[in-house]
C-alpha cells in the first residue's frame, strides 16, 4: 500500500533561517512528503528586511501567510527553539489546516508569555546588553555555534556564515494564543551535557496529552542528527 503524502512546515529558531532545515527537508522529501521551510522576516535570506518593528506577531503572520497561499491540509507544523513561540501563535489563529504540532527543543508558552518570560534573568540580561552594545539597541547578535551544541568544525563554520542578528521585539512580545484546537502535540527534547533553558519542558514527559522524545545531542538537532529528527517527525504520522 502506498503511503499517503503528508505536509511538513518547518519553522526555524532565533538567528537562523529556513536554510538550517536543509538536511531534514531533503530526507523528508525523499520519503515522498511535501516540505516547506519558510524564513521569518528579518532573518536568513530575508535579513535585508530587518527593522526595529519586526516582532513575534509578524513572524506568526509569515507562517499564516504561507498556509493561506499554499493551502495545505493536515499540516505537521514544527517549531525549533524560538519557533515554538511562532507555531503556538499560528495554532491559536489558524488551526484548521493543522494536524500536529512538534516542538523541537522549543519554547511552549502559555498565552501572554514572551521569550524573555521563559528565560532565566541572567540570560535575559546578557541578551539585552548584547543588543545595546552591539546591535543599536534592537538587534541581538547571534550566539556562537557551540551555544547551539554544534561542535563539528564544518557545521560550525556553516552556521557562522549564516546566523544573523535577531530583532529584540520578537523576544519581548507575548504570544496570544487561545487554545481552541485540540491538536496532537509532540515535544523533542535535546539532552545536552549541561542544563539549558528548555529543560523546563521535560515535565511534558508525564503529560498524557503529549508525545515526548529525547535525543542525545545539542540544541541544533536538525543540523547534528538530521536522520534521527526525520525519523521522529515521521512518527507523527502514526496513530
> How would DSSP label each residue in the chain?
-PPPP-EEEEE--TT--GGGGHHHHHHHHHTT-EEE-PPPTTSGGGGGG--TT--HHHHHHHHHHHHHHH--SSEEEEEETTHHHHHHHHHHH-GGGEEEEEEES---PPTT--HHHHS-HHHHHHHHHHHHHHSTTTEEPPPPGGGGT---HHHHHHHHHH---EETHHHHSPP-----S--EEEEEEE--SS--GGGGGGGGGG-TTEEEEEESS-S-HHHH-HHHHHHHHHGGG--
Q: Note if 81 is an active site residue.
A: yes
From 5, 81, 111, 160, active-site residue: 81
The residues annotated as belonging to the active site are 81
Amino acid at each position: 500500500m502506498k503511503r499517503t503524502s503528508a505536509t511538513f512546515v518547518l519553522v526555524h529558531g532565533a538567528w537562523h533561517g529556513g536554510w538550517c532545515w536543509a538536511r531534514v527537508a531533503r530526507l523528508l522529501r525523499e520519503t515522498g512528503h511535501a516540505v516547506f521551510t519558510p524564513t521569518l522576516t528579518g532573518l536568513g535570506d530575508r535579513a535585508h528586511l530587518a527593522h526595529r518593528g519586526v516582532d513575534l506577531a509578524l513572524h506568526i503572520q509569515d507562517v499564516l501567510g504561507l498556509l493561506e497561499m499554499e493551502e495545505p491540509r493536515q499540516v505537521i507544523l514544527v517549531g525549533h527553539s524560538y519557533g515554538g513561540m511562532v507555531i503556538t501563535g499560528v495554532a491559536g489563529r489558524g488551526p484548521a489546516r493543522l494536524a500536529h504540532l512538534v516542538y523541537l527543543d522549543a519554547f511552549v508558552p502559555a498565552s501572554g508569555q514572551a521569550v524573555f518570560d521563559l528565560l532565566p534573568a541572567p540570560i535575559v540580561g546578557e541578551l539585552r546588553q548584547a543588543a545595546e552594545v552591539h546591535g543599536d539597541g534592537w538587534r541581538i547578535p547571534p550566539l556562537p555555534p557551540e551555544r547551539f551544541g554544534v561542535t563539528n568544525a564544518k557545521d560550525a563554520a556553516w552556521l557562522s556564515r549564516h546566523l544573523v542578528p535577531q530583532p529584540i521585539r520578537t523576544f519581548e512580545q507575548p504570544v496570544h494564543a487561545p487554545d481552541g484546537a485540540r491538536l496532537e502535540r509532540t515535544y523533542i527534547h535535546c539532552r545536552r551535557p549541561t542544563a539549558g533553558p528548555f529543560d523546563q519542558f521535560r515535565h511534558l514527559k508525564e503529560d498524557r496529552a503529549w508525545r515526548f522524545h529525547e535525543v542525545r545531542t545539542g540544541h541544533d538537532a536538525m543540523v547534528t542528527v538530521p536522520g534521527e529528527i526525520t525519523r521522529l517527525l515521521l512518527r507523527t504520522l502514526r496513530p
